[in-house]
């Protein structure tokens, strides 16, 4: 299981490693992983390693030693070594004949132009902004060299990024490849910080798995683990057992939202999908049942309990009265997806444990009473706060999306930037409602639905290129299901029982 781990979590694991006398071995393994990655990705020319005073610099000294044994020409520029293991590995570097010169802006500018790769081991999880002026010039020179075409490999995270945040502090370095240890740092997953890190490789290191799991902020389930959450359908299934789903949405001007949610639900396996709207919703698929109601509220609330669906998605393009209608639907107690106009602060406390709430950062800010920028700065904290307020499962949409539920946080993998287009969230709501209708709990539906949708987006991008429509993505949902490895498996072979948060 790949974990998401911030600097505080990594330090807690380090403390256990140190108490066990293993921290030196862990740094050796970390530095060796850096050397192997640098040699594989940038096999030509001299390697120039930049070592800071902390343990991040210690990793760089270890990497220098291993690059030498791999036959590379190696230069090291270093700040004074403060961490005991950094001093130890600096001595070991000298013991194998390595030379260390003092790092400064001028020394870097002299050494960098001929390098085949620069390894940035200046600042890792121990960095606290703002950047001190003495290092600002060094990082500016590093960025300038990279812009002129010399590739940079960052150790753990690019120097000057804050491990747990998606924002980029002034003066931070960029990298082409980042080799990170034990767990993915949030900065490597979200927003502009992630864009600075280039390609990310996780070196889990041979640390007891439960030590890392105990400190992890979130999980990033594999596709096999996601597949284990998808519903299993017997060979004798019929539409009545595959879930009756209602889509409640649409308003003059936003009728497509409800139709797209309906398509998402059908493509994610719902047995019967009915769209209820106060407006004329286009019939995007003839298999959808579309009802226009002069009085939507009266029509829905007049339904006897026996006629209620197995799952509802409410809010997509629903318009100004969405919160009142959503409140009454929530009182039914049926599994419910709340999206778009139904994501209103006054509904906090009205939900139940079979609800999935699907805000994007703007809607999340509205629910939390903060700016969208506060949400995108620390999406894990925002998702946790939303779950504390709303319960059930929360899908904080983004690239990647975060799912918060009673078992913890889960970060989705994959997707495609072309999915940033109108209607994509409506389709997701339909997918989630379909999974709830097929008897998945809120957490399973949220984790599996988000990955299914992201995988469909990857497939749509492969087929259509960059600009993707929600309809393109919906068409790929069946293939995405198959890609995840779940469809067609008979129940006794289905990989259920894999537990993860
Ligand atoms: N558990 C693991 O994942 C392992 C990680 N390792 C590496 O250890 C670093 C973290 O090491 P630490 O000594 O705690 O901190 P850093 O080396 O990142 O930074 C300390 C260094 O930075 C200076 N500094 C702090 N803030 C600023 C600032 N604003 N401006 C300038 N300089 C600053 C500070 O003075 C120190 O000198 C982790 O990232 C991994 O690379 C280990 O290898 C073991 C396993």
CA–centroid distance, residue 165 to ligand 1 (Å): 16
Please report the pLDDT score of residue 356 as a whole number. 98
CA–centroid distance, residue 56 to ligand 1 (Å): 5
Contacts of 15 (CB under 8 A, 6+ apart): none
The answer to whether 259 is a known ligand-binding residue is no
The span from the CA of 149 to the CA of 356, in Å, is 46
Q: Measuring from atom 37 of ligand 1, which residue has the nearest CA?
A: 53
Please report the pLDDT score of residue 486 as a whole number. 59
Please report the pLDDT score of residue 377 as a whole number. 98
Q: Measuring from atom 17 of ligand 1, which residue has the nearest CA?
A: 54
The two beta strands, 177-181 and 199-203, are parallel
pLDDT tens digits, residue range 119-178?
A: 999 999 999 999 999 999 999 999 999 999 999 999 999 999 999 999 999 999 999 999
Q: Measuring from atom 33 of ligand 1, which residue has the nearest CA?
A: 127
CA–centroid distance, residue 182 to ligand 1 (Å): 15
Residue owning tokens 């079979």: 354
The answer to whether 339 is a known ligand-binding residue is no
The span from the CA of 36 to the CA of 51, in Å, is 17
For ligand 1, say whether the CB of 444 is within 6 Å of any of its atoms: no
CB contact at 8 A, 365 and 374: yes
Strand partners of residue 447 = none
Give the N- to C-terminal CA distance of the chain in Å, as an integer. Answer: 10
The answer to whether 156 is a known ligand-binding residue is yes
CA–centroid distance, residue 366 to ligand 1 (Å): 36
The span from the CA of 53 to the CA of 65, in Å, is 17
* Mean pLDDT along residues 316-330: 95
**E runs forming strands in 29-82:** 46-51, 74-78
* Mean pLDDT along residues 304-310: 95
Q: Measuring from atom 9 of ligand 1, which residue has the nearest CA?
A: 56
What secondary structure letter does DSSP report for 312? E
The span from the CA of 501 to the CA of 496, in Å, is 14
For ligand 1, say whether the CB of 125 is within 6 Å of any of its atoms: yes
pLDDT tens digits, residue range 91-104?
A: 999 999 999 999 99
CB contact at 8 A, 86 and 115: no
For ligand 1, say whether the CB of 61 is within 6 Å of any of its atoms: no
The model's confidence at residue 500, banded by pLDDT at 50, 70 and 90, is very low
CA–centroid distance, residue 124 to ligand 1 (Å): 4
Share of the chain above pLDDT 70, in %: 97
CB contact at 8 A, 146 and 50: no
Please report the pLDDT score of residue 236 as a whole number. 82
pLDDT tens digits, residue range 215-234?
A: 999 999 999 999 988 988 87
The span from the CA of 477 to the CA of 434, in Å, is 12
Q: For residue 24, what are the CA distances in angstroms to 86, 96, 193?
A: 10, 18, 29
What's the predicted TM-score (pTM) here? 0.94
- The helix/strand/coil state of 78 is strand
Q: Measuring from atom 43 of ligand 1, which residue has the nearest CA?
A: 27
For ligand 1, say whether the CB of 156 is within 6 Å of any of its atoms: yes
Q: What are the φ and ψ backbone dihedral angles of 445, each rounded to 5 degrees? A: -60, -40
Q: Is the pLDDT of residue 496 over 50?
A: no
H or E element: which one contains 404? strand 402-405
For ligand 1, say whether the CB of 133 is within 6 Å of any of its atoms: no
The span from the CA of 183 to the CA of 180, in Å, is 7
The span from the CA of 120 to the CA of 464, in Å, is 38
* Mean pLDDT along residues 477-487: 84
Please report the pLDDT score of residue 465 as a whole number. 87
The two beta strands, 199-203 and 100-102, are unpaired
CB contact at 8 A, 380 and 4: yes
Testing ligand 1's pocket by substitution, the residue of 4, 29, 56 carrying the most ligand atoms inside 8 A of its CB is: 56
The span from the CA of 63 to the CA of 57, in Å, is 10
Q: Is the pLDDT of residue 487 over 70?
A: no
Q: Is the pLDDT of residue 491 over 50?
A: no
Q: Is the pLDDT of residue 329 over 90?
A: yes
CA–centroid distance, residue 59 to ligand 1 (Å): 10
Picking from 341, 355, 345, 423, the residue whose alpha carbon sits closest to that of residue 394 is 355
Picking from 441, 433, 438, 446, the residue whose alpha carbon sits closest to that of residue 487 is 438
């Amino acid at each position: 299981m790949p974990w998401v781990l911030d600097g505080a979590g990594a330090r807690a694991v380090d403390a256990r490693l140190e108490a066990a006398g293993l921290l030196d071995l862990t740094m050796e393994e970390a530095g060796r992983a850096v050397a192997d990655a640098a040699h594989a990705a940038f096999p030509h020319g001299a390697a120039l390693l930049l070592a800071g005073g902390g343990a991040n610099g210690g990793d760089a000294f270890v990497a220098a030693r291993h690059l030498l044994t791999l036959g590379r020409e190696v230069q090291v520029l270093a700040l004074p070594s403060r961490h005991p293991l950094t001093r130890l590995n600096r001595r070991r570097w000298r013991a194998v004949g390595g030379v260390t010169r003092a790092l400064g802006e001028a020394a870097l500018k002299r050494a960098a132009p001929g390098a085949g790769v620069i390894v940035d081991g200046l600042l890792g999880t121990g960095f606290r902004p703002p950047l001190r002026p003495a290092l600002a010039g060094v990082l500016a020179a590093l960025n300038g060299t990279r812009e002129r075409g010399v590739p940079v490999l960052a150790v753990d995270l690019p120097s000057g990024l804050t491990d747990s945040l998606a924002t980029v502090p002034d003066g931070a370095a960029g990298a082409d490849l980042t080799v990170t240890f034990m767990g993915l740092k949030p900065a490597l997953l979200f927003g502009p910080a992630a864009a600075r890190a280039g390609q990310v490789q996780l070196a889990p290191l041979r640390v007891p798995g439960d030590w890392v799991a105990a400190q992890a902020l979130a999980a990033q389930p594999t596709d096999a683990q996601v597949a284990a959450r998808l519903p299993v359908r017997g060979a004798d299934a019929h539409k009545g057992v595959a879930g009756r789903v209602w889509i409640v949405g649409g308003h003059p001007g936003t009728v497509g939202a409800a139709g797209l949610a309906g398509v998402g639900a059908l493509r994610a396996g719902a047995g019967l999908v009915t769209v209820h709207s106060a407006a004329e919703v286009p019939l995007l698929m003839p298999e959808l049942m579309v009802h226009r109601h002069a009085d939507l509220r009266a029509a829905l609330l007049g339904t006897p309990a026996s006629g209620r669906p197995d799952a509802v998605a409410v809010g997509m393009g629903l318009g100004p009265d969405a919160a009142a209608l959503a409140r009454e639907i929530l009182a039914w107690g049926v599994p419910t997806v709340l999206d778009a106009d139904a994501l209103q602060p006054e509904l906090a406390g009205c939900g139940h444990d079979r609800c999935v709430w699907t805000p994007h950062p703007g809607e999340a800010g509205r629910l939390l009473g903060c700016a969208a920028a506060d949400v995108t700065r620390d999406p894990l904290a925002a998702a946790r706060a939303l779950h504390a307020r709303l319960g059930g499962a929360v899908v904080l949409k983004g690239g990647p999306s975060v799912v918060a539920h009673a078992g913890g946080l889960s970060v989705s993998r994959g997707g495609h930037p072309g999915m940033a287009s109108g209607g994509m969230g409506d389709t997701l709501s339909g997918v989630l409602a379909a999974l709830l209708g097929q008897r998945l709990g809120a957490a399973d539906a949220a984790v599996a639905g988000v990955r299914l949708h992201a995988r469909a987006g990857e497939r749509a991008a492969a087929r259509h290129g960059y600009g993707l429509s929600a309809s393109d993505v919906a068409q790929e949902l069946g293939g995405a299901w198959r890609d995840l490895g779940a469809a067609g498996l008979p129940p006794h072979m289905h990989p259920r029982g894999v537990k993860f948060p």
